[in-house]
Amino acid sequence: MSQAAEKPHERLAAHLAGPMQAVNDLIRARMASQHAPRIPEVTQHLVEAGGKRLRPMLTLAAAELCGYTGPYHVHLAATVEFIHTATLLHDDVVDESEKRRGRPTANLLWDNKSSVLVGDYLFSRSFQLMVETGNLRVLDILANASATIAEGEVLQLTAAQDLRTDEAVYLQVVRGKTAALFSAATEVGGVIAGAPEAQVKALFDYGDALGIAFQIVDDLLDYQGVSGATGKNIGDDFRERKLTLPLIKAVAKADAEERAFWSRTIEAGDQRDGDLAQAIDLLHKHGALKAAQQDALAYAAKARAALKALPAHPLTEMLEALAGFVVSRIR
């Protein structure tokens, strides 16, 4: 396959193959536990599930394109992946999920207890890894990101089932569940490289906008995607009564009869056969999917614009292509 035909995250993976190998080795070494055999069982299940390792690649890319030559971008990339994995374990407990990336979730294979405690373990391990960098500013960034993530998750919990949830609350939830870790991943890459403040800010802005675009697309695919492609089931968010962007936009335009439908299915949780199809019809009727798609494209454009402050570098081009690719998943 020619390089141009490869997907941007595959080009990133190829370019960063060396340090990513070091990241994977570090992840494997630190996911182990001397005493508790349940820990490597659960973590190995997660590691084997793979995923694109997008977040650690963002850290490595940011550090390298800012000229970093030291060893600690590897620690930070592993840190970011550990935080991500810990939140996935806890998310699956909270959402009572049964599938993740097309495989049974840890809470299903073992139990909720193991998912809660192994998540705590991975979070602690991430913390040890970042302390090893000896860089207080990256610690500050990652501590703040962790708090934003947790706060966003709680906010999502209380915003679910509540038709008053608006786009501003949605954005806070999305920053918590996705964008805070994306922006921390890129920002700490710049910070560890000692990049000028304008570049550090650009990296933050890129990660923030990319994360928001990514999450909006994810929320769109929940109504438009194909189960095999995402490893999720169509309509999961509807069944879990989550107020994602398409739904918020449709609720804002609902007439009295439609409002009663949303109130019954989302607020009261009384869902019947055919309700998901009707919900999707309403999303189309009000152009809610189209409008959410436009928002995703706008955030992707914002991400690309932020990159203009960064040095010309093959990785900068790949990050630009990545922003386009993220939104290309929308049909």
Q: Which residue do the tokens 């093959």 mark?
A: 314
Tell me if 94 contacts its own copies by CB under 8 A: yes
Cβ proximity to its own copies, 93 vs 243, nearer residue: 93
| Candidates 35-43, 97-105, 271-279, 313-321; binding stretch for its own copies (CB under 8 A) | 35-43
Q: Which of 21, 44, 144, 227 binds its own copies (CB under 8 A)?
A: 144
| Candidates 70-78, 131-139, 271-279, 312-320; binding stretch for its own copies (CB under 8 A) | 131-139
What phi and psi, each to the nearest 5 degrees, are found at residue 99? -135, 145
Burial label for 75, CB within 10 Å (0-12, 13-18, 19+), is buried
Question: Is 71 in a helix, a strand, or coil?
Answer: coil
Q: Which of 11, 53, 75, 90 binds its own copies (CB under 8 A)?
A: 90
Tell me if 43 contacts its own copies by CB under 8 A: no
Q: Phi-psi bin for 51: left (phi > 0), alpha (psi -120 to 50), beta?
A: left
Q: Which of 21, 25, 52, 158 binds its own copies (CB under 8 A)?
A: 158
First to last CA, the chain: 24
Q: Which of 12, 39, 46, 179 binds its own copies (CB under 8 A)?
A: 39
Give the whole-angstrom CA distance, residue 167 versus residue 290: 15
Cβ proximity to its own copies, 14 vs 154, nearer residue: 154
Tell me if 143 contacts its own copies by CB under 8 A: yes
Q: How many residues form the binding site for its own copies (CB under 8 A)?
A: 44
Tell me if 274 contacts its own copies by CB under 8 A: no
Tell me if 241 contacts its own copies by CB under 8 A: no
Q: Give the residue from 118, 153, 163 showing the smallest Cα distance to 268.
A: 163
DSSP letter (8 states) at residue 175: I
| 157 neighbors 183 (Cβ within 8 angstroms) | no
CA–CA–CA angle 61, 64, 67 (5° rounding): 150
H/E stretch holding 104 reads strand 103-104
Residue 321 C-beta-side C-alpha neighbours within 13 Å: 16
Tell me if 281 contacts its own copies by CB under 8 A: no
Give the whole-angstrom CA distance, residue 127 versus residue 241: 33
Tell me if 191 contacts its own copies by CB under 8 A: no
Tell me if 44 contacts its own copies by CB under 8 A: no
Residue 229 C-beta-side C-alpha neighbours within 13 Å: 11
Cβ proximity to its own copies, 21 vs 128, nearer residue: 128
**Distance of closest approach, residue 211 Cβ to its own copies, in angstroms:** 17
| Candidates 36-44, 52-60, 211-219, 293-301; binding stretch for its own copies (CB under 8 A) | 36-44
| Candidates 19-27, 46-54, 123-131, 264-272; binding stretch for its own copies (CB under 8 A) | 123-131
| 56 neighbors 111 (Cβ within 8 angstroms) | no
**Residue ranges that bind its own copies, judged by CB under 8 A:** 33-39, 87, 90, 93-94, 112-114, 116-118, 120-121, 123-125, 127-128, 131, 134, 136, 139-140, 143-144, 146-147, 149-155, 157-158, 169, 172
